[in-house]
């Protein structure tokens, strides 16, 4: 799994950027906010990435901060939300704005995202509000330690939705090793199935 890219920007599109890393160009899907904030062509960039694997496709999605990556991963945990819709959400709302909208059940803010109607907004709030409430107004994924645990679980083959659910049952105040151990226990007991 590719979790971070550091390289030179060789191409900017409307929804993606190509980053050259030692002669290999990686096309990375990004938010419109990220496109606007990226430096010019030829500049170095660091993107925290999510590798999305399907039967017929392997895609990278990149974010300037781990917090945005964690928020993206949480969004993928909602049924019916794929990477394109999750990117649209983060193009419209910052992680802070999204967390506030979730905690306040602000359907209007979520419905302002292209591709999300009122019914989908209700479903997202219903499914994800507990995850946002569990971490309060802080970092959605629980910080860099939480990101490391998430990455380790993804490396072991667990799905993002399973990981997100397991991490809601794990104390974010623990160290990386303890969080990983507790998450594996939760996943191993099949409490999420």
Please say which residue of 134, 154, 174 terminates a domain.
134
Output the domain CATH number for residue 183. 1.10.8
pLDDT band at 35 (very low <50, low <70, confident <90, very high): very high
Please say which residue of 63, 86, 101 terminates a domain.
63
Pinpoint the alpha helices (H) of the chain: 32-37, 66-76, 83-92, 95-103, 107-111, 118-134, 144-155, 160-168, 176-188
Which of 179, 52, 125 lies closest to 187, judged by CA? 179
What confidence score (pLDDT) does residue 190 get? 66
Does residue 193 belong to any structural domain of this protein?
A: no
What confidence score (pLDDT) does residue 142 get? 42
Residue 120 sits in the same domain as residue 178: no
Residue 54 sits in the same domain as residue 70: no
Does residue 182 belong to any structural domain of this protein?
A: yes
Terminus-to-terminus CA distance in the chain, angstroms?
25
Residue 72 sits in the same domain as residue 59: no
Which tens digit of pLDDT belongs to each residue from 143-178? 457 777 887 787 777 887 788 888 888 887 788 888
Alpha-carbon dihedral angle through residues 70, 102, 93, 48, given to the nearest 10 degrees: 0
Tokens describing residue 112: 């302002």
Residue 73 sits in the same domain as residue 49: no
Residue 124 sits in the same domain as residue 166: no
Which tens digit of pLDDT belongs to each residue from 47-75? 999 999 888 889 999 999 998 999 999 89
Lowest mean pLDDT among 18-27, 83-92, 98-107, 184-193: 184-193
Does residue 139 belong to any structural domain of this protein?
A: no
What confidence score (pLDDT) does residue 77 get? 85
Does residue 56 belong to any structural domain of this protein?
A: yes
For the chain, the domain total comes to 3
Does residue 93 belong to any structural domain of this protein?
A: yes
Tokens describing residue 9: 């920007």
Q: Determine contact, residues 117/139, Cβ cutoff 8 Å.
A: no
Residue 57 sits in the same domain as residue 101: no
Residue 70 sits in the same domain as residue 129: yes
State pTM to two decimals: 0.68
Rg of the Cα trace of the chain? 17
At residue 15, φ and ψ (nearest 5 deg) are -130, 5
Output the domain CATH number for residue 70. 1.10.150.20
Please say which residue of 63, 79, 94 terminates a domain.
63
Element holding 59 (H helix, E strand): strand 57-63
Residue 46 sits in the same domain as residue 19: yes
Output the domain CATH number for residue 39. 2.40.50.140
State the residue range of the domain holding 16. 4-63
5 Rama sector, left if φ>0, alpha if ψ -120 to 50, beta otherwise = beta
């Amino acid at each position: 799994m590719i979790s971070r890219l550091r390289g030179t920007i060789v191409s900017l599109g409307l929804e993606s950027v190509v980053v050259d890393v030692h002669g290999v160009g990686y096309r990375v899907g990004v938010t419109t906010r990220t496109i606007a904030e990226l430096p010019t062509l030829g500049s170095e960039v660091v993107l925290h990435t999510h590798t999305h694997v399907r039967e017929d496709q392997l895609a990278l999605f990149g974010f300037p901060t781990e917090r945005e990556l964690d928020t993206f991963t949480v969004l993928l945990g909602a049924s019916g939300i794929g990477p394109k819709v999750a990117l649209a959400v983060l193009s419209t709302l910052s992680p802070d704005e999204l967390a506030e909208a979730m905690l306040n059940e602000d359907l209007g803010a979520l419905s302002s995202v292209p591709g999300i109607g009122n019914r989908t907004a209700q479903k997202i709030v219903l499914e994800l509000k507990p995850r946002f409430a569990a971490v309060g107004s802080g970092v959605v994924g629980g910080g860099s330690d939480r990101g490391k645990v998430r990455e380790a679980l993804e490396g072991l083959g667990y799905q993002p939705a399973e990981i997100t659910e397991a991490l809601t049952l794990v104390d974010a105040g623990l160290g990386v090793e303890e969080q990983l151990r507790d998450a594996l226990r939760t996943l191993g007991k099949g409490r999420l199935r």
